[in-house]
């Protein structure tokens, strides 16, 4: 193999890393193989966060040094968030310049731009306290927990919309890593499923709904594309979207006390 080139690890490996500390910690498994980056969640802290990790086998001395340099990955993530927050272009080249590393160094840590964007958003989920707030909704009454989940997500959307919108653009264009947007929304789907399950166990789910149907209904109402359509295209105020969504869910899927 030519000097300076890199390849993915030919031997699958498994790695786990905690999502949150404590009894409800979530762990994910990373399986890295030829042309494959597959992250599978093993259990869930309301399934809203999973680490998006990549694995590569380095062959050049420069590449190995770049991987061993403390903080390189963090600098790349910081630069990505900073560029996006300032609404500046965030191509791999621009991110590399902002983080003071080579393009190759970026690709050593992330297989494509979608993977980088996905982990940038997920790291912000934790650092902003969003993950902890979502986990706390499980301690509430089931119906209030569902409502709190919707409130927390809608309040958080403006913070991460620019990142998730970039993932959506990759998804619509069919670019490498397009599935990252679907994976991001699947986190929300699992969070909704957990909340609906608690409502059903409490006896508050309306009889005409199965848990699966109710979960799909909640997910459709809180999906990012629905929020963007109402706020960005129809001109609704975010607070109005929240209030109408909560009222609709209460009317549609909840059994009166």
Q: What is the pLDDT of residues 14-38, one digit of tens each?
A: 333 343 333 333 333 333 333 333 3
Longest dimension (CA), the chain: 69
pLDDT surpasses 80 at 177: no
For residue 120, which of 91, 154, 160, 149 has the smallest C-alpha distance?
160
Q: What is the pLDDT of residue 174?
A: 67
Inter-residue contact 5 to 17 (CB < 8 Å)? no
What is the rounded distance in angstroms from the CA atom of residue 36 to the CA atom of residue 28? 16
What is the rounded distance in angstroms from the CA atom of residue 87 to the CA atom of residue 235? 21
**CATH number of the domain that residue 218 is part of:** 1.10.357
Per-residue pLDDT tens over the stretch 112-128: 888 899 899 889 999 99
The total of structural domains in the chain comes to: 2
In terms of domains, do 106 and 118 share one?
no
In a domain, 104, yes or no: yes
In a domain, 209, yes or no: yes
pLDDT surpasses 60 at 70: no
For residue 6, which of 54, 53, 60 has the smallest C-alpha distance?
60
Q: Give the pTM.
A: 0.69
In a domain, 24, yes or no: no
């Amino acid at each position: 193999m030519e000097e300076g080139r890199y390849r993915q690890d030919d031997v699958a490996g498994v790695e786990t890393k905690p999502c949150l500390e404590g009894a409800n910690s979530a762990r994910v498994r990373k399986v890295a193989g030829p042309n494959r980056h597959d992250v599978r969640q093993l259990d869930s802290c309301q399934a809203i966060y999973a680490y998006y990790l990549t694995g590569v086998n380095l062959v050049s001395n420069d590449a190995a040094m770049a991987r061993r340099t403390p903080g390189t990955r963090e600098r790349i993530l910081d630069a990505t968030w900073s560029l996006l927050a300032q609404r500046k272009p965030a191509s791999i080249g621009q991110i590399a310049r902002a983080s003071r590393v080579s393009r190759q160094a970026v690709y050593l840590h992330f297989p494509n731009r979608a993977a980088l964007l996905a982990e940038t958003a997920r790291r912000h989920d934790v650092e902003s306290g969003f993950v902890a707030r979502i986990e706390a909704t499980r301690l509430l009454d089931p119906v209030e927990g569902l409502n709190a989940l919707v409130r927390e997500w809608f309040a958080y959307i403006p913070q991460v919309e620019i990142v998730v919108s970039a993932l959506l653009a990759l998804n619509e264009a069919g670019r490498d890593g397009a599935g990252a947007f679907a994976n991001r929304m699947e986190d929300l789907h699992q969070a909704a499923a957990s909340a609906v399950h608690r409502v059903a166990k409490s006896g508050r789910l309306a009889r005409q709904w199965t848990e699966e149907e109710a979960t799909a209904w909640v997910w459709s109402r809180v999906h990012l594309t629905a929020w963007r359509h109402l706020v960005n295209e129809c001109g609704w105020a975010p607070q109005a979207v929240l209030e109408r969504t909560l009222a609709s869910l209460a009317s549609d899927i909840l059994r009166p006390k």
